[in-house]
Amino acid sequence: MVINGEDISQMNDGQVSSLRSRKIGFVFQFPSLLPPLTVLDNVALPSIFGNGNGKNGDKNTGIRERVKEILDTLGLTSKLDVYPKQLSAGEQKRVVIARSLINQPQLILADEPTSDLDSRTEKEVMSILRDINAGGVTFLIVTHNLDLVEFASRAFEMENGKLNQIGQPVLK
């Protein structure tokens, strides 16, 4: 398998892990935020394990500024020093999206990114993802919610072990 011109079948575990932390962000179905960490620390966490690229590529500076920038984009500037249990479900989901963006990935894999949200918050989150996508980040979203197809440039369904393209989604 080739990702961004790199054949991962020829890589060792360390190289694959490095590629994953540099090029791929993850939005899990359930927020999986660490309760004893603030929003700032939860969002910054992947930078510790990744290449630590802050806004200017520096490992030790720029992370806090990058976290603030991302949280501002997601409407969470005031939540920097708040703990996960103090956030609504929609805010937690946006923190997870922020965390997936900290290492400036080219691809974000999202598993049911709106599964626990009300319809208004779902639309807000999907609009945020669409804006991030317009900025050059590719999303691969897995969902059972066919209402999300309207946000996609392409959509597929899994049927009997095969992927079939469905409809011709229109970006709004």
CATH number at 24 reads: 3.40.50.300
- Inform me whether the pLDDT recorded for 36 exceeds 60: yes
pLDDT digits (tens, 9 = 90+) for 51-65: 544 443 444 458 889
Instruction: Let me know if residue 13 belongs to a domain.
Output: yes
Would 80 be classed as within a structural domain?
Answer: yes
Structural domain count, the chain: 1
Smallest CA-to-CA distance from 137 within 96, 107, 167 is with 107
> Percent of the chain at pLDDT above 90?
34
Ordered alpha helix ranges (H), 11-76: 13-23, 39-49, 63-73
Residue 28 belongs to some domain of the structure: yes
Burial 46-84 (b: 16+ CB within 10 A, else e): bbeebebbbeeeeeeebbeebbbebbebbebeebbeebb
Boundaries of domain holding 51: 2-165
Average pLDDT score over the chain: 85
Q: Evaluate whether residue 171 is within a structural domain.
A: no
Candidates 21, 17, 31, 25; CA nearest to 132 is 25
- Residue 60 within any structural domain of the chain: yes
Residue 170 lies in a domain: no
In a domain, 172, yes or no: no
| Residue 57 within a domain | yes
Query: In which residue are the tokens 């999202």 written?
Result: 110
pLDDT digits (tens, 9 = 90+) for 65-121: 999 999 998 889 999 999 999 999 889 988 999 999 998 898 999 999 888 788 888
What is the rounded average pLDDT of the residues 149-167? 86
Q: Find out whether 9 and 17 touch, Cβ atoms under 8 Å.
A: no
